[in-house]
Amino acid sequence: MKNRKAEIARKTKETEISASVDLDGSGAYEIATGIGFLDHMLEQLARHSLIDIGLSAKGDLYVDQHHTVEDCAIVLGRAVDEALAERRGIVRYGAALVPMDETLTRVAVDVSGRPFLVWDVAFDAPKVGEMDTELFREWFQAFAQNARITLHVSCLYGANNHHIAESCFKALARALRLALMRDPREAERVPSTKGTL
């Protein structure tokens, strides 16, 4: 069985980011983006997906957080995509319904090779901690595009913006955990009638 690991680095005039993933890890993480709440969310992603994640980012936070948030998702998504290679032997589909106090969020994922995001999440405050709430959609969009997954995220109800955001990341983690599992009945087959993803 192939080791499902990858390391990606990306440097632009706006950010310098490196990421590593081990899809068969234990949920270990070492994350430093310069944005405290984003660090907290990515730690949740690692812990609840059991994907080991290392991510270090330096960005133009003096401008705003947009470039750093989006580029972290780009690099992390690319690392997941590279670690999956031909996507042989995986379950492929995963879904999770995650409660967090008064909030309930549903995420469904298809590790399809066809990137798409459906985002049905609303916030009623401009920030959670120091992070702009409008950037959560940007993160999920960039991650879906670069991991090449179809991703549906719906907050069914909730009142606390922290809980809404965190439940989205935790539900993504749980859905990915299912979708990326090795399926013993698939062996090394690609889970598609096309023969490729």
pLDDT tens per residue, range 71-93? 999 999 999 999 999 999 999 99
What average pLDDT does the segment 55-70 reach? Answer: 96
> What CATH number is given for 5-179 in this structure?
3.30.230.40
What average pLDDT does the segment 102-118 reach? Answer: 98
Do the Cβ atoms of 168 and 64 come closer than 8 Å?
Answer: no
pTM of the model: 0.96
> What does the DSSP 8-state code read for residue 147?
H
Do the Cβ atoms of 113 and 146 come closer than 8 Å?
Answer: no
pLDDT score, position 187 = 83
Domains of the chain by residue range: 5-179
Q: What is the pLDDT of residues 10-51, one digit of tens each?
A: 999 999 999 999 999 999 999 999 999 999 999 999 999 999
**Which of these, 150, 141, 80, lies nearest to 115 by C-alpha position?**
150
pLDDT score, position 38 = 98
pLDDT at 1 over 60: no
pLDDT score, position 23 = 98
The CA-atom distances, in angstroms, between 25 and each of 42, 124, 132, 136, 196 are: 15, 36, 30, 25, 25
